[in-house]
C-alpha cells in the first residue's frame, strides 16, 4: 500500500513526459534521444517525469492540491500555446538578417515552450514544493481547512533545530536550481568575475528560501514563503520564452532587495496578527 502512491505518481510522470515529447516531435523540435548526450537525455526526460510525478505523489500521499493545480496549469499552458495559432515558425537566420545565402542556423519563433519547460524542470519542481509547503502549513494551522492525513512533526510542532534543518535543505534546493539557471542563462556582472557572481547569488538564493521557510515553521509567517513560491513560479514561467528581458538576473543578482521585500511582508503579517485584525492568518 505504501508504494502505490509512488508507483502511480511515477506512471503519471512517464505519461506526462511521453505526451509532451510526442507533441514536441510532432511540431518538429529536435528532442529525440539522439539529440542529447546520455546526461542531457536523463536531465531533460527525467525532468519531465519528476516535474509531474512529484505533485501527484504529494496529492496521493498528503492530499495536497496546490502543487497538482500548479502542475496542471503549467503543463496545460505549455501545451496550449504550442498547439494553438500561430504555432512555431522555423526561419533561417539569413532571412532575418537579409543575407544572400542561407546559413543553416534555424531560429524558432512562437515556439519551443516544451523545450524550455523540459530543460527548466528543476525550477518548476522547487516552485511546486514551495506551494505544497504553504498549503500543508496552512492546513495544519487553520481549523477552517481540512487537516492532512499524515503530518510530519517538523510541520506540526517543530523544534528550532528541526525547523533550521528543513529550512536549510529547502535553501539548498532553491540555491541549486537558481544557480544552475543562472549558469545556463549566463548571468554576469561586468565588474565581477563569473565565479564571484555565482557565489554571491548562490548564497542569496539559499537565504531567500531558508529564511522564509524557517519563519513559516517557527512563527507561522505565511507571507514571505508565499511570495517566494510565487516568484519562483513566475521566474520559471518567464523562462518559457527566449526573451533577453527575463527576471532571473534581477532575482539572482539583487536577491538582497527580494529578501528585504520578504522581511517587509513578514513584518506586516506579524503586525496584523499582533493587532488582532480580522485580516490575520488563522
What is the DSSP pairing of strand 89-92 with strand 106-109?
Answer: antiparallel
Q: How far apart are CA 15 and CA 32, in angstroms?
A: 16
Using alpha carbons, select from 184, 165, 231, 174 the residue that is nearest to residue 204. Answer: 174
pLDDT at 187: 73
Q: How far apart are CA 74 and CA 171, in angstroms?
A: 23
Q: Is 270 left (phi over 0), alpha (psi -120 to 50) or beta?
A: alpha
3-class DSSP state of 86? coil
Q: At 274, give phi and psi (nearest 5°).
A: -65, -35
pLDDT at 281: 47
3-class DSSP state of 275? coil
Using alpha carbons, select from 122, 119, 125, 123 the residue that is nearest to residue 44. Answer: 119
Strands (E), the chain: 89-92, 106-109
3-class DSSP state of 59? helix
Using alpha carbons, select from 120, 134, 88, 115 the residue that is nearest to residue 31. Answer: 115
Q: At 109, give phi and psi (nearest 5°).
A: -105, 145
Contact 29, 117 (CB under 8 A): no
pLDDT at 196: 85
| The three grid cell numbers given for residue 147, joined into one nine-digit string | 487537516
First to last CA, the chain: 34
3-class DSSP state of 232? helix
**DSSP alpha helices (H): ranges in 63-158?**
66-83, 93-97, 113-119, 121-141, 153-156
DSSP 148: P
pLDDT at 93: 56
Contact 178, 254 (CB under 8 A): no
pLDDT at 98: 61
Q: Which residue has the cell 502543487?
A: 67
Mean pLDDT in order along the chain per 10 residues (282 residues): 84 98 94 93 96 97 96 97 82 59 64 93 98 96 86 89 97 96 77 78 96 96 97 94 74 93 96 71 48
3-class DSSP state of 279? coil
**Residue 6, CB half-sphere, CA atoms under 13 Å: how many?**
3
| The three grid cell numbers given for residue 5, joined into one nine-digit string | 502512491
Q: How far apart are CA 201 and CA 123, in angstroms?
A: 15
Amino acid at each position: 500500500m505504501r508504494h502505490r502512491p509512488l508507483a502511480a505518481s511515477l506512471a503519471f510522470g512517464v505519461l506526462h513526459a511521453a505526451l509532451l515529447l510526442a507533441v514536441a516531435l510532432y511540431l518538429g523540435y529536435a528532442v529525440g534521444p539522439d539529440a542529447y548526450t546520455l546526461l542531457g537525455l536523463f536531465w531533460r526526460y527525467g525532468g519531465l517525469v519528476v516535474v509531474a510525478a512529484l505533485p501527484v505523489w504529494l496529492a496521493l500521499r498528503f492530499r495536497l492540491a496546490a502543487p497538482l493545480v500548479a502542475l496542471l496549469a503549467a503543463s496545460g499552458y505549455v501545451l496550449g500555446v504550442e498547439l494553438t495559432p500561430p504555432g512555431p515558425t522555423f526561419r533561417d537566420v539569413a532571412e532575418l538578417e537579409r543575407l544572400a545565402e542561407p546559413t543553416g542556423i534555424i531560429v524558432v519563433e512562437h515556439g519551443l515552450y516544451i523545450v524550455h519547460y523540459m530543460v527548466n524542470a528543476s525550477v518548476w519542481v522547487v516552485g511546486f514544493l514551495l506551494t505544497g509547503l504553504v498549503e500543508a502549513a496552512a492546513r495544519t494551522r487553520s481549523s477552517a481547512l481540512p487537516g492532512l492525513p499524515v503530518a510530519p512533526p517538523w510541520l506540526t510542532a517543530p523544534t528550532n533545530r528541526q525547523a533550521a534543518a528543513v529550512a536549510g535543505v529547502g535553501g539548498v534546493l532553491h540555491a541549486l536550481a537558481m544557480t544552475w539557471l543562472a549558469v545556463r542563462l549566463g548571468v554576469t556582472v561586468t565588474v565581477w568575475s563569473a565565479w564571484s557572481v555565482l557565489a554571491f547569488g548562490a548564497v542569496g538564493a539559499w537565504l531567500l528560501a531558508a529564511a522564509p521557510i524557517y519563519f513559516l515553521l517557527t512563527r507561522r509567517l505565511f507571507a514571505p514563503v508565499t511570495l517566494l513560491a510565487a516568484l519562483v513560479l513566475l521566474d520559471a514561467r518567464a523562462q518559457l520564452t527566449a526573451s533577453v528581458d527575463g527576471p532571473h538576473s534581477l532575482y539572482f543578482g539583487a536577491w538582497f532587495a527580494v529578501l528585504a521585500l520578504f522581511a517587509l511582508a513578514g513584518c506586516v503579517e506579524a503586525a496584523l496578527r499582533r493587532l488582532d485584525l480580522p485580516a490575520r492568518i488563522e
